[in-house]
Structure 1
Amino acid sequence: MSSLFSVALSVAVIAAFALSIGGTYLLVKRKERKQGLLMLLCAAVFFVNVLIWTLPTPG
């Protein structure tokens, strides 16, 4: 794995955690449902992308 790829994965995971925390905060504390759900959806997309990028390839 190249170092740039590792940095990109790290940034994506950190961003996903930040989006998860922010989305949860918006849903629970500020009662902003639309923005909170969109942030949680974006975090889920980031997590799935990282999982796809790190899966071993067959062959």
Structure 2
Amino acid sequence: MNSFTSAALAIAMIAAFLLMIGGIRLLRAPQTRSRGWLMLAAALVLVMNVMIWTM
């Protein structure tokens, strides 16, 4: 794995972590609950992509 791939995977994991935090914050308000679920789903997709690429 070259350095660009490693950096891309690290950035994807940081983005997934931030999406999880933002999604949890949005889930608390009733008006933005659907956006929170979408952010959590996007975080899950990013984590699964990183898992696939590291196998």
Interval of TM-score (by shorter of Structure 1 and Structure 2): over 0.9
Structure number with bigger Rg: 1
- Could you tell me which runs of 5 or more consecutive residues in structure 1 were left unpaired when the two chains were aligned: none
The two structures, once aligned, show a CA RMSD in angstroms of 0.7
List 4+ stretches of structure 1 deviating above 2 A: none
Q: How many residues align?
A: 54
Aligned identity (percent) is: 52
SS at match of 2:53: helix
Q: TM-score, normalised by structure 1?
A: 0.87
Q: TM-score, normalised by structure 2?
A: 0.93
Aligned equivalent of 2:23:
23
Aligned equivalent of 2:45:
45
Bigger helix share:
2
- Could you tell me which runs of 5 or more consecutive residues in structure 2 were left unpaired when the two chains were aligned: none
